C-alpha cells in the first residue's frame, strides 16, 4: 500500500477542498484559519507515521519517499503553519479568506510534491501547481494596484520560464526516452555529443534560475514581493525557493550528475552574480520588502554555493541553510507584516524608534536581520559557515572570499534597519500591538533561529545522514 | 577544584546578567544597575579565584573544559587558560566592573546599556578563554554588535558615523580572518579547529604565509596596526566612557592576543618570516601615533592616539621574538589596559563636569579640584612611562626585548622608537601644564571634586599601577613560563633542533 505514504499530502488536499466548499455554505468566515492550521498539524503528524513505501505502485515510482523528501516535507509544513499564523491579521480584513487559506494549502501541497518528485512529469506538474497557487496569491490584494501589477508580471514571466523549463525537459526526454531521474542518468552519457543536450542544459538552468530567483533571472522578484501580501511574499521567499532548490539538487546531482563537466562551471558563476548583485542593490532600497527581496536573491546565491561544492557536505550545507533561512526569513517577514498592518507603511525610515513602540517586535526583527547577515549565535552564522566550509573543502577559496566580502556588504544594509529600530528616535510614540497568532509565530521563529544557531549538533547529524545516502562519488 | 567548570562560569556569568536585565521592566533602573554590578562583581571574584588556583610554574594550558556534546562540523566547546590569557581575563573582569561603576548615573536607557555591556564582557572573556578557532571567532564577533550599539546609542555627537566605521572595519577584518580559519581546518589532518592540536601540526611554509596574512588582517585591524588604525580615534572619541574604557582596555588586546595565541604557535614559520614586517608598522604606530597625539586639542582624542602609540610597543615587543619582548608585550597589554582605562575614565569625569573635552578651554584644575587633578597627573605619569609606575615596566621590557632581537634592524628600530617615548612625555606634560596647572577659566568656577564612588572605582587602578610598577614580577611570573615555552617551541620548529 504505497498510497498511504502520501497521507500527509492527501490530508492537505482534502482540507484545501473542504475549506473551499464550506465557504459556500457558511456565513461565518473566522474558522478557516483554524481549519488550515489543523490540516497542517494533521499532515505533520501523519508524516511521522510508519507507513511502508516499498510497494511498486505507479505513484511511488513517480515520487521519492526518501529521507530528503521527508526533510523538505516537514520543513514546508512547519513553514506553511508559520505563514498561516502570520496571515491572520491580514486575512481578517479580506473578503476572500477561504480562498486565501486554500491557496496556501495548495501551494504547500505543490512544494511538498516538488521536493519529492522522482521523474520529469510529476516534477513539472507539482511545479505548476505551486506556481499557479502563487500567481493567484500574489495578486490577492484585490483593491491594490501594486498587487495586481505584481501578479500580472509574475504570471507572464512565470509562464515564460515554465515554458523554457518544459522545453528543456522535453529535450531531455527526446534524447533519452526516459522520464525517471535514475533512468535518465544511465542513458544520458550516450547523448553528450548531441547539440540538443547542451541546449536542454541551458533551458534547465534558465528555468530553475527563474524559480530560485538567481541573477540574471531575478527581475520579477522585487516587484512580486513588494506587491504581494506580506505573508505571501514570505512564503514565496522560503517555500517555493526551497522547493526549487530541492528539485535542482535532484535533477542536477541525480539525473544530470554524469554531465557534471557541462554544467558545474555555471553554478559558481550564478552564485557570485546573485549574491553580489543582490547585496549591492539591496544597499539602496528604501522599502523593506524590496530590500528583503534583494536580500533573498543574495541568499539564493549563498545556497547555490553549497550545490556548487558538488559534495555531500555541500548538499548538507544547502539543506541546513534552507532550514535556517526558513525560520529567519519568516521571522523577518512576520515582523514586517505586523508592522505594516498597524502603521500601513513598509518604508525602512518608518521603522524609526520601533524599539520604543514595541520592544518584542524590535528584538525579533533585529535577531532575524542579524541572522540573515550571518552573525554568530544565530542560525544564519552556522548555515553560512557550513556552506563556506564545504566550498573551502573543494578548494574553491576564491568563491569563499567573494562570499565573505558579500557577507560584509550585506551586514551594512541589515544594520541600517537595526539602526532605525534602536537608534533613530520614533516619529510617533503609538505602541504597536502584536496579535496572538503573530506573537506565537515570532516566538517560534526566534526560538528556531537561536536553536539552530547555538545548538546545531542534532540537526547537522540528521542532515548528514540524509545526504550520505544521496551521493555516490 | 576538579569538576567545577570555573571558566564557563566566568565567561557566562555576564550573559546570565544580560538575560536577567532583559527580564526586568525598563523603569526599574536601580535593580538593573544592581544586577549589572553583581554580575560583573561575581565574574571578577571568580577570575580572582582562578588566579589563585592557577599553577604559575606550569607553562601548559590549565582548567581545560571540553563539552562532551558535539556541536557539529568539527566545532568543539573547548576552554582553557594559560599565563598569556589569564592576565587578560583578570583585566577584562576588572575593567568591566569599573566601567559599570563609572556609568552608574546613566539616565538614558540604562536597560539596554547594561545589557549590552555585560554581553560585551561575555564576548571578550570568551575570546581569551576559547581553545577552538570557531568558538574564538564566535566570541570575537559577539563583542561587535554590543559595541556598535554602545557607541551609536550612548555616544557623543558623531556617534553614528563612528559606530558604523568601527563595525565595517572590524567586520571586514574578521571575515578575512574566518577565511584563514577555514583554510587551517581543511589543511589539517585530521580536520580540526582545536587550537592545541593545530599547534602540533606542521603546515607547509607557503600555506602558513597565506593563512598568516589572512589572520593578520583581522588581528591587525583590531590592534590597530598602522595603516588600519583610522577607525580607532573616531570610535574612542565618540564612544561613551564605559565604551572607550573597554575598547582601549580590552578590545585592542584581542588583536595582539590573536597573534600570540593563534599565529605564533600554529604558523611559526610565517610568524618568524613576517615578524620584521610587523615591527615596522609597529614602529610607525609608536612614533606617528605619538606625534598625532601631540597635535590634538581634544583630550579624548589625545588619549586615543596615545593608545595607538602604546599598542605599537606591544607589537614591537612581540615581533622581536625574544623572551623579554614577548613578556613585555603581554605585560604592556595588561598595563595599557589599566592605565588607558583609567585615563578614559578621567576624561569622562572631566567631561561630566566641564562639558568640554577641549584642552584650551580648561586650566587650573589643581586649584579647584585637587583630587581629580592629582589622579590625572598620576595617570599621565604612568602613561608616559615614569619609572616606578607600571607603564615603565612594560615598555622597558618591550624595548629590551626588541633591542636584543636577532636581526640588526631591530637595534635601529628600537632606537627610533625611543623618540616615541620622548614625544609621549612631551604631550602628556603639555596637557598637564594646560589642564591641571594654569589659571582656572571662569566657566569652571562651579566644578566639584570627585565623590566617594568615583574615587572608589579609580583606586583599584591606582593600586595596580603602583604594585606592578614596583614589583612587575606579580604579572611576569604568570606570563613567563607560557611565553618562553611557546617561543622555544617556535624557534626549534623554525630553525630546526
What's the confidence (pLDDT) of residue A2? 67
Distances (CA, A) of A142 to A32, A221, B51: 19, 20, 69
Distance CA B209, CA B218 (A): 15
Distance CA A176, CA A183 (A): 8
pLDDT at B288 over 50: yes
| Cα Dmax for chain A | 69
Assess B160–A contact: CB distance below 8 Å, yes or no.
yes
Q: What residues are paired with B75 via a beta bridge?
A: B72
- Please give the share of chain B, as a percent, with pLDDT higher than 70: 98
Assess B137–A contact: CB distance below 8 Å, yes or no.
yes
Put simply, the chain A residues between 209 and 238 with a CB less than 8 A from any chain B CB are: none
Say what the alpha-carbon torsion angle B135, B139, B141, B145 is, to the nearest 10 degrees.
Answer: 150
Q: What is the least distance, in Å, from the CA of A410 to any CA of chain B?
A: 11
Indicate yes or no: CB of B160 within 8 angstroms of CB of A423.
Answer: yes
Q: Which residue of B has its CA nearest to A353?
A: B153
Band (pLDDT 50/70/90 cuts) for residue B1 is: very low
What's the confidence (pLDDT) of residue A161? 92
Give the rounded distance of the alpha carbon of A239 from its chain centre.
3
CB B167 within 8 A of CB B144: yes
What's the confidence (pLDDT) of residue A130? 94
What's the confidence (pLDDT) of residue B22? 87
Indicate yes or no: CB of B69 within 8 angstroms of CB of A457.
Answer: yes
Question: Grid coordinates in use for A50?
Answer: 510508519
- The 8 Å CB, 24+ separation contacts for A175-178 are A175/A200
Q: What is the least distance, in Å, from the CA of B138 to any CA of chain A?
A: 5
Q: Which H or E run contains B170? A: helix B159-187
Q: What residues are paired with B65 via a beta bridge?
A: B79
- Average of per-residue pLDDT across B194-203: 84
- Average of per-residue pLDDT across A296-321: 92
What's the confidence (pLDDT) of residue A56? 64
Band (pLDDT 50/70/90 cuts) for residue A275 is: very high
Assess B71–A contact: CB distance below 8 Å, yes or no.
yes
Query: What is the CA angle B186-A252-A158, rounded to 5?
Result: 120
Distances (CA, A) of B171 to A68, A442, B165, B184, B399: 35, 28, 10, 20, 32
- Average of per-residue pLDDT across B196-203: 84
Q: Which residue of B has its CA nearest to A456?
A: B71
- Sign, CA dihedral B403-B405-B409-B413, equals negative
Mean pLDDT, chain B, whole residue set: 88
Distance CA B420, CA B450 (A): 32
Indicate yes or no: CB of A456 within 8 angstroms of CB of B71.
Answer: yes
- Length of chain A (residues): 473
CB B350 within 8 A of CB B358: no
pLDDT at A303 over 90: yes
Question: Grid coordinates in use for B393?
Answer: 615596566
pLDDT at A472 over 60: no
What's the confidence (pLDDT) of residue B2? 53
B413 domain residue, yes or no = yes
CB B484 within 8 A of CB B93: no
Nearest residue, CB atoms, A408 vs list B69, B152, B171: B171
pLDDT at B80 over 60: yes
Indicate yes or no: CB of A408 within 8 angstroms of CB of B168.
Answer: yes
Q: What residues are paired with A180 via a beta bridge?
A: A119
Distance CA A113, CA A109 (A): 6
Assess A302–B contact: CB distance below 8 Å, yes or no.
no
pLDDT digits (tens, 9 = 90+) for B260-273: 999 988 898 898 88
pLDDT at A53 over 90: no
B154 domain residue, yes or no = no
Contacts of A357 in chain B (CB under 8 A): none
Band (pLDDT 50/70/90 cuts) for residue B457 is: confident
Q: What is the least distance, in Å, from the CA of A424 to any CA of chain B?
A: 9
Assess B167–A contact: CB distance below 8 Å, yes or no.
yes
Q: Is A436 exposed, middle or buried (0-12, 13-18, 19+ CB in 10 A)?
A: exposed
pLDDT at B73 over 90: no
CB contact set of A305 (below 8 Å; sequence gap of 6+): A267, A268, A271, A314, A387, A388, A390, A391, A399, A403
Band (pLDDT 50/70/90 cuts) for residue A52 is: low
pLDDT at A293 over 90: yes
pLDDT at A55 over 70: no
What's the confidence (pLDDT) of residue A473? 40
Assess A455–B contact: CB distance below 8 Å, yes or no.
yes
The label of the residue with cell 586650566 reads B363
- The 8 Å CB, 24+ separation contacts for A407-410 are A407/A373, A407/A374, A407/B175, A408/B168, A408/B171, A408/B172, A408/B175, A409/A279, A409/A280, A409/A283, A410/A279, A410/A282, A410/A295, A410/A298, A410/A372, A410/A373, A410/A374
Distances (CA, A) of B331 to A327, B238, B247, B476: 46, 28, 18, 7
pLDDT at A51 over 80: no
The label of the residue with cell 587558560 reads B81
What's the confidence (pLDDT) of residue B39? 92
CB B248 within 8 A of CB B309: no
Q: Which residue of B has its CA nearest to A423?
A: B153
Assess A49–B contact: CB distance below 8 Å, yes or no.
no
The range of the structural domain enclosing residue B360 comes to 273-497
Q: What is the least distance, in Å, from the CA of A8 to any CA of chain B?
A: 31
Helices marked H in A190-265 — which ranges? 195-212, 220-227, 230-235, 241-250, 260-263
Give residue limits of the domains in chain A: 268-473
Least confident of A92-96, A153-157, B448-452, B453-457: A92-96
CB B306 within 8 A of CB B293: yes
Helices B323-354 + B299-319 axis angle, to 10: 170
Q: Does the structure's ipTM exceed the value 0.90? A: no
Nearest residue, CB atoms, B179 vs list A393, A400, A411: A400
Assess A196–B contact: CB distance below 8 Å, yes or no.
no
Indicate yes or no: CB of A423 within 8 angstroms of CB of B152.
Answer: yes
- Average of per-residue pLDDT across B125-132: 92
Contacts of B168 in chain A (CB under 8 A): 408, 411-412
What's the confidence (pLDDT) of residue B314? 92
CB A214 within 8 A of CB A273: yes
φ, ψ of residue B384 in degrees (nearest 5): -80, 0
φ, ψ of residue B394 in degrees (nearest 5): -65, -50
Burial call A349-368: b when 16+ CB within 10 Å, e when fewer: ebbbbbbbbbebbbbbbbbb
Band (pLDDT 50/70/90 cuts) for residue B246 is: very high
Task: With CA atoms as reference, report the closest residue to A138 among A166, A183, A100.
Answer: A100
Indicate yes or no: CB of B172 within 8 angstroms of CB of A419.
Answer: no
- Average of per-residue pLDDT across A76-82: 95
What's the confidence (pLDDT) of residue A72? 93
Distances (CA, A) of B190 to A159, A461, B193: 50, 19, 10
Distance CA A280, CA A410 (A): 8
- Sign, CA dihedral B245-B247-B251-B252, equals negative
Band (pLDDT 50/70/90 cuts) for residue B354 is: confident
Distance CA A285, CA A279 (A): 10
Task: With CA atoms as reference, report the closest residue to A413 among A377, A369, A376, A367.
Answer: A369
User: CA-based Rg of chain A, rounded to a whole angstrom?
Assistant: 21
Which SS3 state, helix, strand or coil, does residue B223 take?
A: coil
The label of the residue with cell 544564519 reads A380
- Average of per-residue pLDDT across B175-203: 85
Mean pLDDT, chain A, whole residue set: 89
Query: Looking at the 3D structure of chain B, how many domains does it have?
Result: 1
pLDDT digits (tens, 9 = 90+) for A386-445: 999 889 888 888 899 899 889 988 988 998 899 889 888 888 888 888 889 999 999 999
CB contact set of A443 (below 8 Å; sequence gap of 6+): none
Count other C-beta atoms under 10 Å from residue B491's C-beta: 15
Q: What is the least distance, in Å, from the CA of A407 to any CA of chain B?
A: 8
What's the confidence (pLDDT) of residue A258? 80
Q: What is the DSSP letter of B359?
A: G
B217 domain residue, yes or no = no
Q: Which residue of A has its CA nearest to B155?
A: A423
Question: Grid coordinates in use for A302?
Answer: 549563498
Contacts of B141 in chain A (CB under 8 A): 375-376, 381
- Average of per-residue pLDDT across A343-363: 89
Indicate yes or no: CB of A375 within 8 angstroms of CB of B179.
Answer: no
What's the confidence (pLDDT) of residue B108? 83
Distance CA A161, CA A167 (A): 10
pLDDT at A103 over 90: yes
Count other C-beta atoms under 10 Å from residue B91's C-beta: 24
Distances (CA, A) of A117 to A133, A180, B433: 18, 9, 81
pLDDT at A54 over 70: no
pLDDT digits (tens, 9 = 90+) for B361-387: 888 888 888 888 899 999 999 998 888
What's the confidence (pLDDT) of residue A109? 95
What's the confidence (pLDDT) of residue A471? 60
Indicate yes or no: CB of A415 within 8 angstroms of CB of B186.
Answer: no
Count other C-beta atoms under 10 Å from residue B21's C-beta: 26
Band (pLDDT 50/70/90 cuts) for residue A313 is: confident
What is the per-residue DSSP string for A2-34? GGGGGHHHHHHHHHHHHHHHHHHH-S--TTHHH
Distance CA A407, CA B119 (A): 23
Give the rounded distance of the alpha carbon of B290 from its chain centre.
18
Q: Which residue of B has its CA nearest to A313?
A: B73
B107 domain residue, yes or no = no
- Please give the share of chain A, as a percent, with pLDDT higher than 90: 50
* Peptide bond connecting A325 to the previous residue in cis, omega within 30 degrees of 0: no
What's the confidence (pLDDT) of residue B25? 85
CB B191 within 8 A of CB B283: no
User: CA-based Rg of chain B, rounded to a whole angstrom?
Assistant: 22
What's the confidence (pLDDT) of residue B143? 86
Q: Which residue of A has its CA nearest to B71?
A: A457
Amino acid at each position: 500500500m504505497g498510497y498511504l505514504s502520501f497521507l500527509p499530502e492527501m490530508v492537505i488536499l482534502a482540507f484545501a477542498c473542504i475549506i473551499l466548499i464550506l465557504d459556500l455554505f457558511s456565513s461565518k468566515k473566522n474558522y478557516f484559519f483554524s481549519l488550515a492550521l489543523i490540516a497542517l498539524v494533521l499532515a505533520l503528524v501523519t508524516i511521522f507515521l510508519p507507513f511502508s513505501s516499498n510497494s511498486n505502485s505507479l505513484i511511488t515510482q513517480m515520487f521519492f519517499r526518501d529521507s530528503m523528501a521527508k526533510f523538505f516535507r516537514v520543513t514546508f509544513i512547519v513553514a506553511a503553519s508559520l505563514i498561516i499564523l502570520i496571515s491572520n491579521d491580514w486575512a481578517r480584513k479580506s473578503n476572500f479568506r477561504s480562498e486565501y487559506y486554500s491557496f496556501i494549502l495548495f501551494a504547500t501541497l505543490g512544494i511538498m510534491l516538488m521536493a519529492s518528485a522522482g521523474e520529469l512529469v510529476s516534477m513539472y506538474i507539482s511545479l505548476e501547481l505551486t506556481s499557479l497557487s502563487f500567481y493567484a496569491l500574489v495578486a490577492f490584494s484585490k483593491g491594490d494596484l501594486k498587487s495586481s501589477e505584481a501578479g500580472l508580471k509574475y504570471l507572464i514571466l512565470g509562464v515564460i520560464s515554465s515554458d523554457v523549463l518544459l522545453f528543456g525537459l522535453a529535450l531531455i526526454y527526446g534524447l533519452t526516452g526516459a522520464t525517471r531521474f535514475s533512468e535518465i542518468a544511465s542513458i544520458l552519457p550516450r547523448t553528450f555529443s548531441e547539440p540538443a543536450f547542451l541546449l536542454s542544459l541551458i533551458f534547465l538552468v534558465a528555468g530553475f534560475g527563474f524559480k530560485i530567483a538567481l541573477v540574471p533571472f531575478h527581475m520579477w522578484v522585487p516587484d512580486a514581493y513588494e506587491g504581494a501580501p506580506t505573508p505571501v511574499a514570505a512564503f514565496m521567499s522560503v517555500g517555493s525557493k526551497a522547493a526549487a532548490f530541492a528539485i535542482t539538487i535532484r535533477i542536477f546531482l541525480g539525473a544530470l550528475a554524469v554531465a557534471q563537466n557541462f554544467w558545474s562551471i555555471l553554478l559558481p558563476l550564478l552564485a557570485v552574480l546573485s549574491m553580489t548583485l543582490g547585496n549591492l542593490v539591496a544597499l539602496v532600497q528604501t522599502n523593506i520588502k524590496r530590500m528583503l527581496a534583494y536580500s533573498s536573491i543574495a541568499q539564493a546565491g549563498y545556497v547555490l554555493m553549497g550545490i556548487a561544492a558538488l559534495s555531500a557536505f555541500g548538499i548538507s550545507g544547502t539543506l541546513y541553510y534552507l532550514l535556517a533561512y526558513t525560520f529567519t526569513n519568516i521571522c523577518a517577514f512576520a515582523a514586517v507584516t505586523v508592522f505594516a498592518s498597524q502603521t500601513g507603511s513598509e518604508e525602512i525610515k518608518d521603522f524609526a524608534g520601533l524599539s520604543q513602540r514595541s520592544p518584542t517586535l524590535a528584538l525579533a526583527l533585529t535577531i532575524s536581520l542579524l541572522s540573515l547577515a550571518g552573525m554568530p549565535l544565530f542560525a544564519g552564522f552556522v548555515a553560512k559557515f557550513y556552506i563556506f566550509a564545504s566550498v573551502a573543502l573543494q578548494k574553491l577559496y576564491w568563491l569563499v572570499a567573494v562570499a565573505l566580502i558579500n557577507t560584509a556588504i550585506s551586514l551594512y544594509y541589515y544594520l541600517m534597519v537595526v539602526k532605525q529600530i534602536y537608534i533613530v528616535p520614533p516619529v510617533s510614540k503609538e505602541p504597536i500591538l502584536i496579535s496572538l497568532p503573530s506573537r506565537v509565530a515570532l516566538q517560534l521563529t526566534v526560538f528556531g533561529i537561536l536553536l539552530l544557531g547555538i545548538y546545531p549538533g542534532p540537526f547537522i547529524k540528521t542532515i548528514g545522514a540524509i545526504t550520505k545516502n544521496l551521493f555516490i562519488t | 577544584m576538579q569538576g567545577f567548570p570555573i571558566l564557563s562560569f566566568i565567561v557566562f556569568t555576564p550573559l546570565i546578567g544580560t538575560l536577567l536585565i532583559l527580564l526586568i521592566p525598563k523603569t526599574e533602573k536601580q535593580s538593573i544597575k544592581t544586577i549589572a554590578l553583581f554580575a560583573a562583581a561575581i565574574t571578577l571574584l571568580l577570575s580572582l579565584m582562578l588566579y589563585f588556583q592557577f599553577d604559575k610554574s606550569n607553562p601548559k594550558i590549565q582548567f581545560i573544559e571540553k563539552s562532551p556534546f558535539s556541536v557539529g562540523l568539527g566545532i568543539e566547546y573547548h576552554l582553557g587558560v594559560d599565563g598569556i590569557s589569564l592576565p587578560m581575563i583578570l583585566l577584562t573582569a576588572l575593567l568591566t566592573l569599573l566601567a559599570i561603576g563609572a556609568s552608574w548615573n546613566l539616565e538614558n536607557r540604562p536597560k539596554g546599556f547594561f545589557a549590552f555591556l555585560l554581553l560585551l564582557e561575555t564576548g571578550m572573556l570568551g575570546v581569551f578563554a576559547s581553545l577552538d578557532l570557531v568558538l574564538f571567532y564566535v566570541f570575537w564577533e559577539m563583542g561587535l554588535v554590543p559595541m556598535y550599539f554602545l557607541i551609536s546609542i550612548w555616544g557623543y555627537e558623531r556617534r553614528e558615523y563612528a559606530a558604523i566605521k568601527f563595525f565595517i572595519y572590524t567586520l571586514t577584518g574578521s571575515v578575512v580572518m574566518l577565511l584563514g580559519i577555514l583554510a587551517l581546518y581543511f589543511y589539517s589532518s585530521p580536520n580540526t579547529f582545536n587550537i592545541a592540536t593545530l599547534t602540533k601540526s606542521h603546515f607547509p611554509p607557503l600555506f602558513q604565509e597565506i593563512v598568516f596574512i589572512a589572520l593578520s588582517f583581522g588581528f591587525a585591524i583590531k590592534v590597530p596596526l598602522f595603516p588600519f588604525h583610522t577607525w580607532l580615534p573616531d570610535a574612542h572619541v565618540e564612544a561613551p566612557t564605559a565604551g572607550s574604557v573597554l575598547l582601549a582596555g580590552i578590545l585592542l588586546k584581542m588583536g595582539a592576543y590573536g597573534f600570540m595565541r593563534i599565529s605564533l604557535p600554529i604558523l611559526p614559520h610565517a610568524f618568524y618570516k613576517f615578524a620584521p614586517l610587523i615591527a615596522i608598522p609597529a614602529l610607525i604606530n609608536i612614533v606617528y601615533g605619538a606625534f598625532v597625539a601631540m597635535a590634538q586639542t581634544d583630550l579624548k582624542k589625545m588619549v586615543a592616539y596615545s593608545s595607538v602609540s602604546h599598542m605599537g610597543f606591544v607589537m614591537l615587543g612581540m615581533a622581536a621574538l625574544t623572551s623579554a619582548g614577548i613578556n613585555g608585550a603581554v605585560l604592556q597589554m595588561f598595563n595599557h589596559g589599566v592605565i588607558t582605562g583609567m585615563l578614559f575614565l578621567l576624561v569622562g569625569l572631566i567631561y561630566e563636569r566641564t562639558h568640554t573635552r577641549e584642552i584650551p578651554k580648561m586650566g587650573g584644575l589643581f586649584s579647584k579640584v585637587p583630587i581629580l587633578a592629582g589622579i590625572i597627573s598620576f595617570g599621565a605619569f604612568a602613561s608616559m612611562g615614569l619609572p616606578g609606575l607600571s607603564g615603565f615596566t612594560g615598555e622597558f621590557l618591550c624595548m629590551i626585548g626588541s633591542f636584543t632581537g636577532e636581526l640588526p634592524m631591530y637595534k635601529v628600530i628600537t632606537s627610533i622608537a625611543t623618540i616615541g617615548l620622548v614625544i609621549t612625555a612631551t604631550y602628556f606634560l603639555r596637557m598637564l601644564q594646560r589642564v591641571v596647572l594654569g589659571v582656572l577659566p571662569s566657566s569652571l568656577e562651579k566644578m566639584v571634586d570627585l565623590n566617594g564612588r568615583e574615587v572608589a572605582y579609580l583606586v583599584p587602578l591606582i593600586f595596580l599601577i603602583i604594585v606592578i610598577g614596583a614589583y612587575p614580577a606579580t604579572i611576569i611570573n604568570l606570563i613567563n613560563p607560557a611565553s618562553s615555552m611557546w617561543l622555544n617551541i617556535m624557534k626549534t620548529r623554525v630553525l630546526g633542533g
